Amino acid sequence: MKDKIKQLAEEINSRILSNREELEKFRIEFLSKKGLIPVLFTLFKDVPPEHRKEIGQMINELKLRAQEIINEAKTALESDQQEEASATDLTRPGLEFQLGARHPISIVKNKIIDIFARIGYTVSEGPEIEDDWHNFSALNFPKDHPARDMQDTFFIEKDPEILLRTHTSSVQVRVMENTRPPIRTISPGRVFRNEAISARSHCIFHQVEGLYVDKGVSFADLKQTLYYFAKELLGENTKIRFRPSFFPFTEPSAEMDVSCNICKGEGCNVCKYTGWLEILGCGMVDPQVLDNCGIDSNTYTGLAFGMGIERVAMMLYQIKDIRLYFENDLRFLKQFGSIV
């Protein structure tokens, strides 16, 4: 019996308890009801009386020692945990949070919306998939008229003709069909043309359309509105000039140039040494278009204008290649300021 006790004492002293599982295993093996130490107590009844005092003492000591080992291991494990917790350095700076930046097209679109909002223009939108009526016919592009060739169209369906809108002028028609004058609205959106992609043209791009219909709207209003717009967008000293042009839905029609803000009119390679940059098309809404949309052209007149956002952004930021807008190269996109 004495040998057995000594052997157990050696064993418990040699155990290493480095985690909670080992500790629990130790407790069950030596101290639980059927553990090795309680078993010694049951064997104790067979010990002859003259050895009982000594052996009883040895078993008790063994039990105390086992408990002591468990307690020591517990304390050690707890302090390890505390140390681990206090190893977290709360003063360390956090990981840098990467904020995105707005796309230059969105920045310029928002600028344009903001400038026109200040003189009472609302924003209206229309579908990108259009029918022939809203994209062409209502805007005075007769069937088989060469004016349709100005805009290479992606057709989706032949009969009836469904297509990807080639310009945001289609939204003009929808607005005039659904609202009564006075109408003062701009329509930003994506447009599609079946064109070869190059530094200067793309098959997907963005336009902003403008429309003002009321009694007595005149060409003077058109000039004044666009003059205000050019100065707000490009600066106080910006000059504008109008050149006669043709669009089926406006009469008279014009194209507007702004003075080149890079060379200040001196001539540079951006304005091709003319001192002027073409920025938009405009005109007085053709009376036939008003009538097509259910607005009486004897009572009302209207002005309209349309511009490409990519083009305006190229001018503002001196971007030389339209393809950059669509490549999602972060080195390009990060240059236009953060989202906030």
Any bridge partners for residue 209, and if so which? 187, 306
The closest residue (CB) to ligand DAH is: 306
Q: Please identify which residue in 260, 282, 293, 309 interacts with ligand DAH, judged by CB under 6 A.
A: 282
Q: Is 292 in the site for ligand DAH (CB under 6 A)?
A: no
Work out whether 167 is an interface residue with ligand DAH (CB under 6 A). yes
Contacting residue, 283, 301, 309, 312, with ligand DAH by CB under 6 A: 283
Q: Torsion angle, CA of 55/61/65/66, rounded to 10 degrees?
A: 50
124 sits near ligand DAH (criterion: CB under 6 A):
no
User: Is residue 188 part of the contact set for ligand DAH (CB under 6 A)?
Assistant: no
Q: Give the contacts of 290 (CB within 8 A, at least 6 positions apart).
A: 176, 213, 296, 297, 300, 301, 302
Q: Is residue 164 packed enough to be buried (19+ CB in 10 Å), middle (13-18) or exposed (0-12)?
A: buried
In the complex, minimum distance from the CB of residue 103 to ligand DAH, in angstroms, rounded to a whole number: 21
Residues 194-213 that bind ligand DAH (CB under 6 A): 209
Contact stretch for ligand DAH (CB under 6 A) within 112-120, 121-129, 281-289, 322-330? 281-289
Q: Omega before 48 cis (within 30°)?
A: no
Q: Which is nearer to ligand DAH, 63 or 193 (CB)?
A: 193
Using CB under 6 A, which of the segments 29-37, 56-64, 227-235, 275-283 binds ligand DAH? 275-283
H-helix or E-strand containing 24? helix 20-30
Residue 250 CB, nearest approach to ligand DAH (Å): 4
**Residue 248 interacts with ligand DAH (CB under 6 A)?**
no
Cα distance from N-terminal residue to C-terminal residue, the chain: 82
Q: For 11, how many CA atoms within 13 A lie in the half-sphere containing its CB? A: 13
Q: Which of 140, 169, 187, 301 binds ligand DAH (CB under 6 A)?
A: 169
- Closest separation in Å from C-beta 252 to ligand DAH: 10
- At closest approach, how far in Å is the CB of 259 from ligand DAH? 21
* Kind and range of the H or E run holding 224: helix 219-234
338 Rama class: left (phi>0) / alpha (psi -120 to 50) / beta: beta
Among 26, 247, 300, 325, binds ligand DAH (CB under 6 A): 247
Q: What is the closest distance, in whole angstroms, from the C-beta atom of residue 237 to ligand DAH in the complex? A: 26
Q: How far is CA 86 from the centre of its chain?
A: 39
Establish if 193 lies at the interface with ligand DAH (CB under 6 A): no
Residues binding ligand DAH: number (CB under 6 A): 11
Q: Which of 281, 293, 302, 309 binds ligand DAH (CB under 6 A)?
A: 281
- The secondary structure of 108-168 as a DSSP string is HHHHHHHHHHTTT-EE----SEEEHHHHTGGGT--TT-GGGGGS---EEETTTTEEE-SST
Angle, helix 104-117 to helix 309-317, in steps of 10 degrees: 100
Residues lying near ligand DAH in the complex (CB under 6 A): 167, 169, 209, 247, 250, 281-283, 304-306
